[in-house]
């Protein structure tokens, strides 16, 4: 995993054992406070110094109280120093009582970490419509014995999960002169993933010193090409949020302008967010395969993005991939109902290396070879619109019997 910067020779390199505590000055942890029966359900992130903060949020009109509290914290000074997260209960559609509990959650963690309440973000995920068991969260926060430990990132990754089957993380480092810069991320997400601003929960930490407005600009731009380009089931959660904290402890002079350093940072952030997006898509509830859809030579980027997400979000395409059925008709049908105007007589479609449609018409291909390709864990679909020069990629997963089983009994 490398990212080349044209203006410089530095390269972002993956840190195999890296995590959100690898950037200087960050610590994290997680524990079981009793919201879930056995698994960890309360996690936190702490920065030694106030960190510049940026975030993107769900576009669902039913935004949960924790998002409102977090927005208030970030908007106060543009910085955060602590994050408290619970899983098992979304504290969504909970009215005044839910908002009161979100504020209380922020307050008790701020007291535990010796911070001002505006220095803390609050995030919840889980079942919608049930009041937060705030007494359990208070007891859990008060029981934290090692708030500033840097070796408990895995506990944090586990504490934020709901129906996920594995933890999700990535870490990159770059050496430039006498400095080492680090960007790392953790995320959760498995179902109800079809964002228009963010996706499920994502957390990025970095020790780079960067201006608040520039950090927000970078996250918003990167999100459009990463978190916004995944879909599992077409549902957008009430609690989706991606948060970036940059505490500046790498010691660089604050990056403010759209120069080589900003380009460097943005490319590293893009790689982190892309990796987390792919991990979320692969962990779709009941999923057995990751689907990657490339739409090439569109007239606009927006056209390419819409078509790519339409294909990867199609239940019929998903089930065909699960059943290892090279049903090209479902792919071109999704292109056709995407709402994008195009010349259907020019379209070209490939499943992996196998050409199946050219000039809008099916071509002869080996059915067994196509079925064999669809046995892979990662499936690539390419659609060439022959209409322009813009491209986009979207990620999703197949739709299996287990998806229905998991969601039919989610609350029980």
The catalytic site residues sit at 199
Calculate helix-pair angle for 95-113, 65-77, nearest 10 degrees: 50
How far lies 96's CA from each of 66, 75, 107, 131, 239, in Å?
Answer: 12, 21, 17, 10, 17
Nearest CA-CA partner of 141 in 84, 65, 212:
84
Question: How far is the C-alpha of 318 from the C-alpha of 329, rounded, in Å?
Answer: 13
Task: Please tell me what DSSP assigns to residue 252.
Answer: P
Cα Rg for the chain, rounded, in angstroms? 22
List the Cα angle 314/161/47 in 5-degree steps: 120
Identify which of 285, 12, 250 has the alpha carbon closest to the alpha carbon of residue 161: 285
φ, ψ of residue 346 in degrees (nearest 5)? -110, -15
Tracing tokens 């090439």 back to the chain, one arrives at: 296
Q: Give 173's Cβ-side CA count (13 Å radius).
A: 14
Asked if 2 and 11 touch (Cβ cutoff 8 Å), the reply is yes
Closest by Cα among 276, 211, 250 to 53: 211
Measured between alpha carbons, how far is 319 from 55 in angstroms, rounded to an integer? 34
Q: How far apart are the first and last CA of the chain?
A: 40
**E strand or H helix at 396:** strand 390-397
CB 33 within 8 A of CB 303: no
Instruction: List the one residue out of 200, 126, 124 whose CA is nearest residue 168.
Output: 200
Q: How far is it, in rounded angstroms, from Cα 159 to Cα 50?
A: 23
Neighbours of 16 (CB within 10 A): 6
């Amino acid at each position: 995993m490398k990212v080349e910067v044209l203006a410089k020779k530095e390269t972002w390199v993956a840190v195999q054992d890296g995590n959100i505590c690898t950037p200087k000055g960050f610590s994290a942890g997680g524990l079981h406070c009793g919201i879930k029966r056995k698994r960890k359900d309360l996690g936190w992130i702490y920065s030694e110094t106030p960190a510049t903060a940026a975030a993107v949020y769900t576009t669902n009109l039913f935004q949960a109280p924790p998002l409102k509290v977090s927005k208030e914290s970030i908007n106060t000074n543009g910085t955060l120093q602590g994050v408290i997260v619970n899983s098992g209960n979304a504290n969504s559609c909970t009215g005044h009582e839910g908002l009161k509990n979100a504020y209380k959650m922020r307050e008790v963690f701020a007291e535990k970490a010796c911070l001002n309440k505006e220095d803390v973000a609050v995030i919840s995920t889980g079942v919608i419509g049930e009041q937060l068991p705030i007494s359990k969260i208070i007891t859990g926060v008060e029981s934290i014995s090692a708030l500033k430990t840097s070796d408990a990132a895995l506990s944090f990754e586990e504490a934020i999960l709901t129906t996920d089957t594995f933890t999700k993380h990535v870490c990159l480092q770059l050496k430039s002169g006498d400095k080492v810069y680090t960007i790392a991320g953790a995320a959760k997400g498995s179902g109800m993933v079809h964002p228009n601003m963010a996706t499920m929960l994502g957390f990025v930490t970095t020790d780079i010193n960067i201006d608040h407005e520039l950090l927000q600009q970078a996250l918003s731009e990167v999100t459009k090409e990463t978190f916004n380009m995944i879909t599992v089931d077409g549902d957008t959660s009430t609690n989706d949020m991606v948060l970036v904290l940059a505490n500046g402890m790498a010691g660089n002079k604050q990056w403010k302008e759209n120069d080589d350093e900003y380009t460097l940072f943005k490319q590293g952030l893009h790689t982190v967010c892309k990796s987390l997006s792919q991990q979320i898509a692969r962990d779709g509830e009941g999923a057995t395969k990751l689907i990657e859809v490339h739409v090439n030579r569109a007239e606009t980027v927006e056209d390419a993005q819409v078509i790519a997400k339409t294909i990867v979000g199609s239940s019929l395409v998903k089930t065909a991939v699960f059943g290892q059925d090279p049903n090209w008709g479902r792919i071109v049908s999704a292109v056709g109902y995407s709402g994008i105007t195009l010349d259907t007589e020019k379209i070209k479609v490939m499943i992996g290396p196998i050409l199946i449609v050219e000039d809008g018409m099916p071509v002869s291909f080996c059915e067994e070879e196509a079925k064999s390709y669809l046995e892979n864990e990662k499936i690539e679909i390419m659609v060439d619109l022959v209409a322009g020069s813009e491209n986009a990629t979207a990620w999703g997963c197949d739709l299996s019997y287990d998806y229905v089983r998991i969601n039919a009994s989610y609350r029980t």
